[in-house]
Structure 1
Amino acid sequence: MPQRCLLALVGGLVLAAAFEPVGWSWLMPPALAALVLSLRGLRPGRAWIPSLLFGTTFVYAVMVWMRSVGTDAWIAMCALEAAFFVPLGLGMAWSMRHRAWPLWTALWWVGIETWRSGFPFSGMPFGRLVYATADTPWADALPWIGMTGVSLLVALTGTTLAWLLLRLRDLDALRTRSTYAVVGTLAVVTLAPALVSFPVRETGTTTVAAVQGDVPGTGLDVVAVHRDVTANHVRLTEELAEAVAAGDEPAPDFVVWPENSTAVDPFTDPGVHAGVVAATDAIGVPVIVGAMANDPLDDEQVLNQGIVYRPGLGSGDRYTKRHPVPYGEYIPFRGSLIPSSYGKLRMIPRDMARGTGLEPLRVGDVRVADAICFDVAYDEGIGGQVARGAELVTVQTSNAMFSRTGQLAQQFEISRLRALETGRWVVVAAINGVSGVVRPDGTVVASVPARGQDVLVETVGLSTTLTPAVRLGVWPARAALAFLVVHTLAVAIAYRRRRRGARDVAVAEQQGGQA
């Protein structure tokens, strides 16, 4: 058992190294194989121990950037995320009793990954296998099978590697037709999308400007210097207008400001409102402003929104962030679980309300799918807007608190993968990094590094083509969760029948002895 535990601990760290900022994606299969080998042959009652150790080293390493919020927040959140690896160990132990156990164990991984990505309080999707697949053959399958499907493909590669390592003990078994068939099928499924890419038809173009204004000082606290932040974005937009007038820059069709480019309500703060209007009128095209707006339905709540400002007309369409961060942007069960006065929770006087809309923004003649910060890590938001006609994707993000961590690179990689999944250009506007423009094939056309201050002006393509991944929507994730429920029920029923059968045999033997 100690060797199994050590293997699991190392395997979790190796898996974390597959994600940015290290980014060694090829480590995922051997890391998952290490988990399988640490569980192989264990009864479910003991299998959860190596699995929990694997999960602990993985989540604490891959989300070490949460320490920027507070060491206590990092410890608490990762402890919760690691707890999901307990049912994973049980499920994988059950699965290894099946003949096709590489597939069953891969399904358990994806099912648990889906579960923890949505629960509790909307979950924590960072660390999904698919989010480490940029620039790999696995990513080419994204437009075909979506995020959940690619995670399954990566997991299956790892569990199949474990199966092959176990067969190495028997060279004759390794040379059988079944081995060649399994490996060949997996290779075809993995590499075929790279050879047969999904065709995305471009229906037009538009020119977009993404503004990264940066945060004065350390760059970690937007609220403390929010007026300077807004002034930076106003100034850069006005300078862009001057460059356009001089012929030094192409005229954009619209401009994107990042999340928290105004950290107060632009409709109630006269100074901020005047700055936004001045910038919009100067550039003469719509600006999608990242703003904190008061909730008109509840004075105790605030809305994190992307608001379309139009020159001479004022505000138009709005997108409201769908996934506020628990204990970062709102306090679940305020006052009943953790006191609101504890630590940095004092900085959240009002809860951020959750958005529900999936209608794309109308920005001039273009329909835009918007996402705000962590929204980009959830499947239903961008995909739902694209399915409803969005021709382009924008991501407005702050991430100022994480500006010195690997979180910036992890989130930007997710934005790249969304481009592949949806077949859309993606424009990222970050308050102090990383901003960028991404093609539908995931390649980066232009970017601004962390703490940079710049404006990106790029002509991007528009499309109304729906990829199979967008058409599938969230159904693959629902299927993964359904698998967990069905398999667990099947195991429970089988266990109960075995217990009943054993009890009947014992009673029969006792009665026979008495006779």
Structure 2
Amino acid sequence: MSDRWCRAAAAVAAGALPCLAFPAPALWWFAYVALVPWMLLLRSAPTGRRAALEGWLGGAGFIVAVHHWLLPSLHVFLVPLAALLGLLWIPWALLVRELLSGAPAAGRATAALVLVPAGWLLSELARSWQGLGGPWGLLGASQWQVPPALRLASAGGVWLVSLLVVAVNCALVLLIAVPGARAPAVAGVTGCAVLTGVVWLWTPRPEVSGSLRVALVQPGMVAEGPASAERRFATGERLTRDLAGQRADLVVWGESSVGEDLTARPDLAARLAALSAQVGAPLLVNVDAHRSDRPGIYKSAVLVGPQGLTGDRYDKMRLVPFGEYIPARALLGWATSVGKAAGEDRMRGAAPVVMDLPGGVRVGPLVCFESAFPDMSRRLAREGAALLVAQSATSSFQDSWAPAQHASLAALRAAETGRPVVHATLTGISEVHGPSGERIGPALPTSASTAQVYQVPLARGATVYVRFGDWPVGAALAALAAYCSVQGARSPVLRRPAPEPSAPPARTARG
């Protein structure tokens, strides 16, 4: 096999390595070294074109690795999707080669410690657009169980954590491959440690201000078939009855826990109202059905009290590509014939909703995939939500890494907003995280069919991230813009060549 093919295969494998830092393996410490092989390969690329190719291949390998559990749904379509998204890593690859190749002096090495993480963040930001699949597998999300990293998230969101992780990887590349740049490399690692320490010591912590008893109802796997929605409803109904006398303040069911529009099925609404009266708490259920008041299928968080529907309803706004709708269905509709893609597009909601519970506590619902978007939970916190609830269903990927990775996002959203997050699923993993991202009580595994009450601490105040938003993204883009400006100023300016001075007229000989 030629050297070019060996390097191509190595790029794909190196790009896939970071997936081990995410759940289910959850080797969080591996994230700080996972990019080193890929970056060493890129810095040794003989040409910029080769670096771009290896950046593309590594990016595609990363996408396949962190989304491999989608294979049952997308089948071979995952490969062209990964090839498309892999293009987003080409600018980062060119930056790595430009700043780390050869023997960079102290100035170039120092610039690399800023610009290489900024370039990685640019790739993450671009693929976080919902139309390209959303922010699943952001590198900073691998640190969901590390308290210092969660403190960084409270200051700058998952973006700040990603920047720090890539900066450490970059410093390790300098230490390994560029002996003359060890001083900037050590300074870079020290700077990351100092930043983490400053945030840990000086960033305000959420101030606990009471608690709420929240019950999660997880019915578990239900046999598929024409009556599966009714069987799931009946299981949830039975488990909810067992909560009577446990003094719950709110009962949460998972995504798609109700398969009929409750306005069109008053009998189901009456059953839920009776449950609410029996338990002594409102029920937050999730309806996946055609609506009776408008065309199309909606996934909606619906609050039901002892008197019936309260009128509080949130329609899911950000849908899963291919899972809940097919982009450009006229062109890509064939995906339904090779996988479990959506046979009919779901409809989007118009705006976020904050619901009021008895006693004055306000709840911000999210539906499944939406818990991956930092801006959505931040907006709910700014609009007064004291508790964030993510209703999810991952039964299609029950035996994969998806349930654990999805549940881990609750810790990040809690740390970013300073608000507790409840992650309630149909089939696991369900869990609760407090306002600093800490896990509250035991998680409900994928094997469980049960209902569990959690004493959830509430908090007041606003985190730095809630106040100032995605400022690390702005800082990274500003650094990249400054670099491009400097490089542009140093490049020779193309001008129209000035006309050459005409030669003096030749003297004629005189006789």
TM-score range, shorter chain: 0.7 to 0.9
For residues 99 and 350 of structure 2, the distance between their equivalents in structure 1, rounded to whole angstroms, comes to 37
| Alpha carbons 2:388, 2:419 under 8 Å: kept | yes
Correspondence for 1:115 among 126, 144, 155: 126
- Measured against aligned partners, the alpha-carbon deviations of 1:215-259 in whole angstroms (never above 9, x if no partner) come to 313xxx587611111111111112222xx1xxxxx3101111111
Correspondence for 2:356 among 356, 362, 370: 362
| Alpha carbons 1:138, 1:154 under 8 Å: kept | no
Correspondence for 1:159 among 157, 170, 179: 170
Q: Percent identity?
A: 28
| Alpha carbons 1:302, 1:353 under 8 Å: kept | yes
Structure number with larger C-alpha Rg: 2
- Give the AA of the match of 2:261: D
- Measured against aligned partners, the alpha-carbon deviations of 1:126-173 in whole angstroms (never above 9, x if no partner) come to 1101110023333331111211111111111111211222333x4xx6
| Alpha carbons 2:255, 2:425 under 8 Å: kept | yes
For residues 75 and 179 of structure 1, the distance between their equivalents in structure 2, rounded to whole angstroms, comes to 36
Q: Count residues with an aligned counterpart.
A: 490
Shift of the 183–56 alpha-carbon distance from structure 1 to 2, 3 Å rule, reads: same
- Give the AA of the match of 1:133: Q
- Give the AA of the match of 2:286: G
- Give the AA of the match of 2:149: W
Q: Which residue of 1 aligns with 2:161?
A: 150
Gaps of 5+ in 2: 507-511
For residues 267 and 57 of structure 1, the distance between their equivalents in structure 2, rounded to whole angstroms, comes to 46
Shift of the 183–285 alpha-carbon distance from structure 1 to 2, 3 Å rule, reads: closer
Correspondence for 2:92 among 88, 91, 94: 88
Shift of the 303–337 alpha-carbon distance from structure 1 to 2, 3 Å rule, reads: same
For residues 483 and 10 of structure 1, the distance between their equivalents in structure 2, rounded to whole angstroms, comes to 30
Shift of the 478–102 alpha-carbon distance from structure 1 to 2, 3 Å rule, reads: closer
Is 1:268 the counterpart of 2:274? The answer is: no
Correspondence for 2:113 among 88, 97, 102: 102
Q: How does 1:282-431 map to 2 (within 5 A)?
A: 282-295=278-291, 298-299=294-295, 301-339=296-334, 342-344=337-339, 347-349=342-344, 351-364=345-358, 365-431=360-426
- Measured against aligned partners, the alpha-carbon deviations of 1:74-112 in whole angstroms (never above 9, x if no partner) come to 334323322322333234445558451121011000111
Is 1:434 the counterpart of 2:429? The answer is: yes
Q: Which residue of 2 aligns with 1:461?
A: 457
For residues 76 and 186 of structure 2, the distance between their equivalents in structure 1, rounded to whole angstroms, comes to 49
State the SS of the aligned residue for 2:264. coil
Shift of the 310–282 alpha-carbon distance from structure 1 to 2, 3 Å rule, reads: same
Q: Which residue of 2 aligns with 1:231?
A: 234
State the SS of the aligned residue for 2:329. coil
Q: How does 1:43-54 map to 2 (within 5 A)?
A: 43-54=47-58
For residues 204 and 31 of structure 1, the distance between their equivalents in structure 2, rounded to whole angstroms, comes to 41
- Give the AA of the match of 1:211: V
Is 1:141 the counterpart of 2:136? The answer is: no
| Alpha carbons 2:287, 2:300 under 8 Å: kept | yes
State the SS of the aligned residue for 1:240. coil
TM-score (norm 2): 0.87
Is 1:213 the counterpart of 2:209? The answer is: no
Q: Which residue of 2 aligns with 1:448?
A: 444
TM-score (norm 1): 0.86
Alpha-carbon distance, 1:34 to partner: 2.2
Shift of the 225–313 alpha-carbon distance from structure 1 to 2, 3 Å rule, reads: closer
- Give the AA of the match of 1:264: E
Q: Which residue of 1 aligns with 2:15?
A: 12
Moved more, 419-428 or 7-16: 7-16
- Give the AA of the match of 1:80: L
| Alpha carbons 1:261, 1:290 under 8 Å: kept | yes
Alpha-carbon distance, 1:459 to partner: 1.7
| Alpha carbons 1:95, 1:101 under 8 Å: kept | yes
For residues 25 and 329 of structure 1, the distance between their equivalents in structure 2, rounded to whole angstroms, comes to 31
Gaps of 5+ in 1: 245-249
Shift of the 346–133 alpha-carbon distance from structure 1 to 2, 3 Å rule, reads: closer
Shift of the 56–179 alpha-carbon distance from structure 1 to 2, 3 Å rule, reads: closer
For residues 323 and 240 of structure 2, the distance between their equivalents in structure 1, rounded to whole angstroms, comes to 30
- Give the AA of the match of 1:182: G
Q: Which residue of 1 aligns with 2:142?
A: 132
Q: Which residue of 1 aligns with 2:187?
A: 181
For residues 459 and 412 of structure 2, the distance between their equivalents in structure 1, rounded to whole angstroms, comes to 17
Is 1:24 the counterpart of 2:35? The answer is: no
For residues 226 and 381 of structure 2, the distance between their equivalents in structure 1, rounded to whole angstroms, comes to 32
For residues 8 and 341 of structure 1, the distance between their equivalents in structure 2, rounded to whole angstroms, comes to 31
| Alpha carbons 1:289, 1:308 under 8 Å: kept | yes
